[in-house]
Amino acid sequence: DGGITQSPKYLFRKEGQNVTLSCEQNLNHDAMYWYRQDPGQGLRLIYYSQIVNDFQKGDIAEGYSVSREKKESFPLTVTSAQKNPTAFYLCASTRGGLYGYTFGSGTRLTVV
Amino acid sequence: AQSVAQPEDQVNVAEGNPLTVKCTYSVSGNPYLFWYVQYPNRGLQFLLKYITGDNLVKGSYGFEAEFNKSQTSFHLKKPSALVSDSALYFCAVIQGSNYQLIWGAGTKLIIKP
């Protein structure tokens, strides 16, 4: 079955450490997105990519980086510059047009 | 710019009663509207969308939404609530030629037995 896989489900980061969250899709979707969600809050866009080898900053890109070397993959790195990284991270993709998004099941990142 | 408002942070409903989760929008041009649901520690799941046609849209899990152009609203409804409907609900609208979704802040729906 097609879908989006995010890994790991839970991730713990030490202070000053970079960590990378994985997002893989087998839906043949062109566009992919990363969102951050704080407890009980809405979605805030971190980065998005509409095509391989191209991506744009969202509303809260500072302290994060991404790459899009393959259509299927859109990993997110949370760098040490992100001072408050504890949150739930969601990856989504779309074939574009009026189809809406498909979401992964999320990664919960905690700073220890 | 397109925007979506969900005026209620939380909605409480007794099991078996009808429920409504409100959403209003502001767009230039035709509105393309979506509802998603999020259960705890999960990703968002698509419920339904309005693109064109009938103003009453039916979706998953018995939910429906009514598009009202004059009131710029797209409220989510269900005739009889279940405890299992308790979740976080998001309304969204498509913006721009890249078809990016703009999200409301979300409404927490609590169904009490």
Q: How far apart are CA A17 and CA B36, in angstroms?
A: 34
Per-residue pLDDT reduced to its tens digit, B67-89: 999 999 999 999 999 999 999 99
Type of residue numbered B101: L
Of B43, B88, B99, Cβ closest to residue A96 = B99
Backbone angles phi, psi at B97, to 5 degrees: -75, -15
Contact B101 A90 (CB under 8 A): no
Q: How confident is the model at residue A98 (pLDDT cuts 50, 70, 90)?
A: confident
Q: Does A103 touch chain B (CB under 8 A)?
A: yes
Contact A106 B42 (CB under 8 A): yes
Distance of residue A16 Cα from the nearest chain B Cα, in angstroms: 26
Per-residue pLDDT reduced to its tens digit, B92-108: 998 777 788 999 999 99
| The pair of three-digit structure tokens given for residue A81, joined into one six-digit string | 């510059």
Phi-psi category of residue A76: left, alpha or beta, with phi > 0 → left and psi -120 to 50 → alpha: beta
Residues B100/A49, Cβ–Cβ less than 8 Å: no
Of A4, A98, A103, Cβ closest to residue B99 = A98
